[in-house]
A = this chain, B = another copy of it.
Amino acid sequence: MKTDLLIVLSDVEGLFDSPPGSDDAKLIDIFYPGDQQSVTFGTKSRVGMGGMESKVKAALWALQGGTSVVIANGTHPKVSGHVITDIVEGKKVGTFFSEVKPAGPTVEQQGEMARSGGRTLATLEPEQRAEIIHHLADLLTDQRDEILSANKKDLEEAEGRLAAPLLKRLSLSTSKLNSLAIGLRQIAASSQDSVGRVLRRTRIAKNLELEQVTVPIGVLLVIFESRPDCLPQVGALAIASGNGLLLKGGKEAAHSNRILHLLTQEALSIHGVKEAVQLVNTREEVEDLCRLDKMIDLIIPRGSSQLVRDIQKAAKGIPVMGHSEGICHMYVDAEASVDKASRLVRDSKCEYPAACNALETLLIHRDLLRTPLFDQIIDMLRVEQVKIHAGPKFASYLTFSPSEVKSLRTEYGDLELCIEVVDSVQEAIGHIHKYGSSHTDVIVTENEKTAEFFLQHVDSACVFWNASTRFSDGYRFGLGAEVGISTSRIHARGPVGLEGLLTTKWLLRGEDHVVSDFSEHGTLKYLHESLPVPQRNTN
C-alpha cells in the first residue's frame, strides 16, 4: 500500500480479547501478531465478529507490508468525531497493531496488580505495614550510593534543559535522603491506627450488631513532577493506609524514580505484597491514565497548580484530591491590635511566599487608613520588599497609589500582595466568598464577637482568628503524615492526613436476621442502640 498508517473504522471500539458484550471482554490496546491465539473470535455472529476476524487478517497483512494499523470505532460522531486526528496524534484510541512487543506489563495490568496487591496489604497487621515502611526507610540510607548515582544521571541529562529551581527539586543528597527516612518513620508511627479502626457500633437488635470500620480507598494514582523524593513518601502513605498505588513520575526523574521504586518493592516483598506499588511507564500519557475510572479510585496530583488544573480537567469520573489555588486572605478589623496585625501579615506573606497557604490579599477596614496601624504594616512590607498591588477601592482612597491589580483573584506565590479596603466584616466576608479559593482566611481583631462572626460565616476549609495563614498544614495541625491540602468540599477538606486515604465499610454480624421480622406485624423491633467505641489514640 505504501502508506504509513491504515485506519480501519468499525462499529466497535476495537479488538477485544473475547466477543464484546461477554462478561470478561477487554479491549486490546496494542495487538502483537504473536498474541493471536489469546483472542477468541465469536463464531456464531454472522455480521459482528466474523467481520472483526477478517479486519484483523487485513491488519496483519498490512503490518507485514510495513504499514501501521489502528482499528477503532467510527460510529460515535459525538464521542469520537475526532477519532482520526486523535489516532494521528498518537492517542490511545481503539487497537493499535504493532510488530514490536514492549517489555513489562500494560498499565491496565499494573492497575490490576495494584488492586490485588493493595487488597492483600490491607489485610496485613498494622505492625506489618509499619515494618515495610521502616524497611524502606532503612533502604533509603543503606542504598544511598546507588540512589545518588541514579539521580546524578537524571541531573546530567537535565543539565541545560531545566531551569535552576527545577534542577534543585530534581536533585537528591545524603541529607535529603536522611530526612526522608525520618519522615517515613513518622508515617510508620502514625499508620498503626489507620486501617480497621471502629468508628461506630450500633446494636440493631439482639445479636445483630453493626460496625463501621475504616478501610483503604482502593487504588490511588499519584502524579508527581521532578521531585523524586515524592516517590518513597507517597509510597509510604499508601502502604500505611493499605492502598494500592500507581505512581506516575516525570520523565526528567526516570533514573531516580526507577531505583526508588525498586527499593519500595523490595521493602514490600518482606510481607509478600511487592506488587501493591506500581511505577507507570513514562510513555503513558497522564490524560490516558485519567480515563481509567474502573481501575483508579482517587487521583492525587503533587505539583504545580497548573498540573492540578490539567488533571482535574482530564479526570473522567475519578475524584481528584488537592487544590489548584491558594488565594488566602487576611482581614484586619477596625479593632485589631497594631502589633499583632503587622506580625501576622509578615509571617503570612513573607515567611515562605511560594507556599499555597501564604497570604495573597490583605483586606483592611476603612477606619484604619491613615492610622499608625496602617503605616506600620506598610512600613513592614516595604522593609520586607513586598510589592503592593492596590485593589480598586484602596486605589481610590489614595492620592498616589501603587499599580492597580489586574484581578482580585490572583495567587502571586511571591513577595507581592494585593491590598483592598472594606467597610465592615460583612464586606470582608463577601469579598472572600467572591474572590477567594476557600483555602485559608484569617481575621485579625481584639473583638471576640466579630471574630466568631467571621469564623462562623466564612465558607473556607480553614478559618483562623489572630493566627498566621501558614498554620494551614497537616503537620502543624498535628495530623501526622500529610497527604496534601484539599479545597474540595467532599471527602476531605483542608489539610489532609492519612485519614484522607481511607473510606469505611459496614460490617453487620447476625444470627439469621431477616428484615421481614421487623415489619409492622413482625416479631422484632429495631433497637438502634449506640455501643461504646474503642477510644482512639490521637497523640
Contacts and interface: CB of A to CB of B under 8 A. Distances in A.
Interface of A: 22-23, 77-78, 81-82, 119, 123, 200, 202, 204, 208, 210, 215, 217-218, 297-298, 312-313, 315, 317, 319, 337, 339-340, 343-344, 346-348, 351, 407-409, 433, 435, 451, 455-457, 459-468, 470-472, 476-478, 489-491, 493-495, 503-516, 518, 526, 528-530, 538-539
B510 A464 contact: yes
Contacts of A516: 347, 351
A463 B343 CA distance: 54
Most buried by B among A22, A312, A505: A505
Nearest to A212: B494
Given A347-B514, A351-B516, A489-B503, 14 more contacts: A81-B81, A202-B478, A210-B477, A319-B490, A347-B516, A455-B507, A462-B506, A472-B506, A490-B490, A493-B505, A494-B505, A494-B506, A529-B539, A530-B539
A442 to B, nearest CB: 9
Contacts of A506: 461-463, 472, 477, 494-495
A470 B510 CA distance: 13
Main SS class of interface, A = mixed
Given A208-B467, A461-B506, A504-B493, A512 B218 contact: no
- Most chain B CB within 10 A, of A344, A408, A514, is at A514
Contact of A505 (B319, B463, B505, B507): B463
Nearest to A203: B478
A227 to B, nearest CB: 22
B494 A204 contact: no
Contact of A512 (B298, B312, B466, B478): B466
Contact of A319 (B202, B319, B512, B513): B319
B297 A470 contact: no
B493 A503 contact: yes
With a 10 A CB-CB cut-off, give which of A346, A470, A528, A530 has the most chain B CB atoms: A528
